[in-house]
Amino acid sequence: MVSLRTKAAVICTIPPLLDLLPDTFMKDYLIAPSILSADFARLGEEVNAVLDAGADVIHFDVMDNHYVPNLTIGPMVCEALRNHKIAAPIDVHLMVTPVDQLILDFAKAGASYISFHPEATVHVDRSLQLVRDQGCKSGLVFNPGSSIECLEYLMDKIDVILLMSVNPGFGGQKFIPSTLKKLEKVRKLIDDSGYQILLEVDGGVGVKNIREIADAGADMFVTGSAIFNSKDYAATIKAMREELGQSPNRSH
Ligand code: DX5
Ligand code: ZN
């Protein structure tokens, strides 16, 4: 049986047809389950379960009951996951203020990506540089009501732009539709900049809306309750990949 990917490869050798294919056809989308919705009593097991089910990245929500009205997990839990032999990228989302000390602590604990909200630090440029100095990928997070203007001056210091599609602080909330317009705007900013920057979306993402979010320009999808509240993690991730037009059994 000739696989879809082989067929695609053959098709792609014929130049005119290449232009007919939508941009998203060969795009590599990243699915990042948010462990905020996992069963914390079995966290190591839950993380292995979603990775075995086909997830790419583990999204790690850090809340300090100060920047957001909730309190979650710290660097020692990130370190515990690394000690539990979790090798997948860990995407740390800091909803805290200030951020610099926790950037150092999470880098030491094994974080791969570290993102923070620009209004949570006094010196955004310096804090982004601090993340990269630790050897981690740097990211900025924008709340639904926050302007993205500062991006213009920071594109050379950013590896990930994360758009919140809910107000931060809780899982299980509804996707805010105006995020689609913001995604299109940031997608254009990234493409015009020429920098390799991931465009990530966080909040209310599920099987039903993941396609339109991808069409608006996102390439990394945080999804918590849609996966962890489902009976079959593999079936849910497979359904998401099919919506994205990706083969469920793609190699990582
Ligand atoms: C909310 C967090 C999100 C949240 C997503 O502040 O940053 O990562 O856990 O959960 P769902 O997918 O359930 O909206
Ligand atoms: Zn998050």
So what's the pLDDT on residue 249? 47
Q: Which of 64, 91, 159, 202 is catalytic?
A: 202
Tokens of 209: 């809306």
pTM of the model: 0.89
Residues 86 and 56: beta-carbon distance below 8 Å: no
State the Cα–Cα distance between residues 218 and 164, nearest whole angstrom. Answer: 12
CA dist 237 to 32, 99, 199, 202, Å? 10, 32, 19, 16
Taking each helix axis as running N to C, give the angle between helix 100-109 and helix 75-83, from 0 to 180 degrees, rounded to the nearest 10.
Answer: 10
So what's the pLDDT on residue 252? 42
Q: Using one digit for the tens of pLDDT, what is the confidence trace for 151-173? A: 999 999 999 999 999 999 999 99
Q: Is the CB of 36 under 6 A from ligand 1?
A: yes
Q: Can you tell me the mean pLDDT for 4-9? A: 59
State the Cα–Cα distance between residues 17 and 232, nearest whole angstrom. Answer: 37
Q: Can you tell me the mean pLDDT for 110-129? A: 98
State the Cα–Cα distance between residues 48 and 53, nearest whole angstrom. Answer: 8
Q: Is the CB of 238 under 6 A from ligand 1?
A: no
Residue closest via CA to ligand 1's atom 6 equals: 168
Tokens of 85: 């032999």
